[in-house]
């Protein structure tokens, strides 16, 4: 691995040089508060002072709705038209880890051509971050990345230390080598180490993820799930904002006046009632508690036995999103035997009073 240095003033000239005909996606501030990944032409829109975006960057590879293929009575034609060369700049370690998890998921036994093709066309430029009270990535061990990016920018006040993570990343640097410095000084190294230590101390939320598979098993019939089910608004938001959620629905969209249908793939969420509905009007998980149990089994238990780490990458989006406080933080803390201050807990006392 090679490390170079980039003065902050040289960042935009560098992005300009490598952009070419690719679409560059970066965090942009929305409504004075939350951030979203957006395609940017004007780099001054980029705002790197963010903790997490509302939706995870998987939306850039697999949009909420896209045509998979067109089907007529006699043939079907694959449609990859939504895929183009893209660069994601400013992605944080947790989201890079999520991409690595999705890579495994989408190539396990059956390959998903839409994910893999989009991935081939993607350049990932990571960026360092600072945790807030909802970041759990230190607990999931996804707060640092060793692979999965082309370049990774660590913010050291007026300079970036840039880690080159792939040969493609190395090629990008060679587009404008004059913008970079090869030699890191002792001061740079000291600053880097100090930053890492300070950041490690800044995490305030610790979750015992190692205990979760056992606790999920032991508390599968715990009253907790009913409490959560009573409060859950079944809005699907936890699922839609999760960087490792991947379920989708496929809809036939016949076109008026034409003899073909667009076969559309759209995000789906196991926390929504209709998700488990089958022909004949039956539903395997009509109860909200059952659906939540499934989601948390995936996030806290089953991926660990299959991939060696939880599906949760600790990004804290579910914490920042659920209006009734059902999220990995409160659920894991509760499974671990803690009293949790949350709407769902207060509601359970309200309803049973």
Partner 1 sequence: MSKNNDKKLKIGIYELTGCAGDGLLILDCEMELVDIFQAADIQSFLMAKSDNIDGELDIALVEGSVSTEREIEELKDIRKRAQVVVAFGLCATHGGIQARFSEEEWQKNLKEVYGDIEMSHTKAVHSKPIDEYIDVDLYLPGCPVSKDQFLNFLVRALGGSPPEVYPNPVCVTCKYNENDCLLLKGIPCLGPLTADGCGAICPNHNVPCYGCWGPAEGANFTSEFYLLQEKGFDMEAIKKRMANYSGTKLQEFFEKFKKESQ
Q: Which is nearer to partner 1, 145 or 245 (CB)?
A: 245
Distances (CA, A) of 225 to 207, 263, 291, 292, 296: 19, 36, 10, 8, 10
Q: Is 67 in the site for partner 1 (CB under 8 A)?
A: no
Select from 10-18, 25-33, 88-96, 116-124 the region that touches partner 1 (CB under 8 A): 25-33
- The strand ranges marked E within 198-260 are 248-254
Name the DSSP class of 277: B
Q: Which is nearer to partner 1, 14 or 37 (CB)?
A: 37
Size of the site for partner 1 (CB under 8 A): 43
Min dist. Cβ of residue 288 to partner 1 (A): 7
Q: How far apart, in whole angstroms, are the C-alpha atoms of residue 253 and residue 337? A: 48
Q: Is 231 in the site for partner 1 (CB under 8 A)?
A: yes
Q: How far apart, in whole angstroms, are the C-alpha atoms of residue 4 and residue 178? A: 11
Min dist. Cβ of residue 225 to partner 1 (A): 15
Q: Which is nearer to partner 1, 210 or 351 (CB)?
A: 351
What is the footprint of partner 1 within residues 315-344 (CB under 8 A)? Answer: 321, 323-324, 343
Q: How far apart, in whole angstroms, are the C-alpha atoms of residue 169 and residue 279? A: 49
Sign of CA dihedral 296, 300, 306, 309: positive
Min dist. Cβ of residue 7 to partner 1 (A): 32
Helix (H) or strand (E) holding 169: helix 167-175
What is the footprint of partner 1 within residues 269-288 (CB under 8 A)? Answer: 269, 272-274, 277, 286, 288
Q: Which is nearer to partner 1, 5 or 288 (CB)?
A: 288
Query: Please, which residues have CB within 8 angstroms of residue 65's CB and are 6 or more apart in sequence?
Result: 264, 265, 266, 267
Q: Which of 116, 255, 306, 338 binds partner 1 (CB under 8 A)?
A: 255
What distance separates the 2 farthest-apart alpha carbons in the chain?
Answer: 70
Q: Under the rule (CB under 8 A), what is the footprint of partner 1? A: 30-31, 33-34, 36, 53-55, 64-65, 230-237, 240-241, 251-257, 267, 269, 272-274, 277, 286, 288, 321, 323-324, 343, 346-347, 350-351
């Amino acid at each position: 691995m090679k490390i170079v240095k980039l003065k902050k003033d040289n960042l935009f000239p560098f992005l300009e040089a490598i952009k070419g005909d690719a679409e560059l996606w970066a965090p942009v501030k929305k409504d004075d508060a939350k951030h979203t990944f957006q395609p940017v032409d004007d780099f001054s829109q980029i705002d790197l002072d963010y903790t997490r975006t509302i939706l995870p960057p998987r939306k850039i590879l697999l949009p909420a709705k896209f045509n998979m293929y067109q089907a007529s009575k006699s043939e079907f034609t694959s449609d990859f038209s939504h895929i183009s060369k893209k660069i994601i700049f400013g992605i944080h370690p947790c989201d890079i880890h999520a991409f690595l998890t999705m890579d495994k998921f989408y190539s396990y036994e059956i390959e998903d051509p839409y994910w893999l093709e989009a991935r081939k066309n993607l350049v990932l430029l990571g960026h360092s971050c600072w945790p807030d009270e909802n970041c759990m990535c230190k607990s999931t061990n996804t707060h640092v990345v060793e692979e999965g990016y082309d370049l990774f920018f660590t913010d050291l006040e007026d300079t970036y230390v840039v880690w080159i993570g792939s040969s493609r990343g190395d090629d990008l640097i060679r587009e404008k080598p004059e913008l970079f410095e090869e030699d890191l000084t002792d001061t740079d190294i000291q600053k880097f180490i100090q930053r890492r230590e300070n950041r490690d101390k800044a995490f305030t939320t610790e979750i015992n993820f190692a205990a979760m598979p056992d606790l999920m098993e032991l508390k599968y019939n715990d009253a907790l799930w009913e409490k959560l089910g009573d409060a859950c608004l079944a809005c699907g938001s936890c699922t839609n904002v999760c960087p490792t959620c991947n379920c989708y629905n496929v809809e036939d969209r016949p076109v008026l006046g034409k003899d073909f249908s667009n076969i559309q793939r759209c995000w789906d969420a196991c926390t929504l009632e209709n998700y488990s509905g089958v022909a004949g009007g039956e539903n395997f998980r009509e109860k909200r508690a059952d659906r939540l149990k499934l989601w948390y089994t995936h996030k806290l238990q089953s991926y660990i036995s299959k991939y060696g780490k939880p599906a949760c990458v600790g990004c804290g989006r579910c914490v920042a999103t659920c209006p009734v406080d059902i999220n990995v933080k409160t659920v894991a803390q509760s499974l671990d035997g803690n009293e949790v201050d949350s709407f769902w807990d207060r509601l359970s006392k309200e309803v049973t009073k």
